[in-house]
Amino acid sequence: MSTECTFIIFYIIFFAIDAIFAFLLARLKPVSSSLFQKSKYPRARR
């Protein structure tokens, strides 16, 4: 029983970490893409 409980806890922690990472990537993707476009525009003008 103890091994099953620890396995379930580890699975929940792993799922929570994966969800947090996916959320952070989704939040950071538009910011990084907009910054990349801003830095790319002056190069295109020159």
DSSP string, 8-36: HHHHHHHHHHHHHHHHHHHHHHHHHHHHH
Q: What is the pLDDT of residue 9?
A: 95
Q: In angstroms, what CA-CA distances link 44 with 2, 9, 31, 39?
A: 61, 51, 20, 9
Q: What is the pLDDT of residue 13?
A: 97
* Interval 24-37: pLDDT, tens: 888 887 777 776 66
**Percentage of the residues of the chain whose pLDDT score is greater than 70:** 70
Averaged pLDDT of the chain = 81
Q: What is the pLDDT of residue 40?
A: 62
Q: What is the pLDDT of residue 25?
A: 86
Q: What is the pLDDT of residue 42?
A: 60
Q: Is residue 41 helix, strand or coil?
A: helix
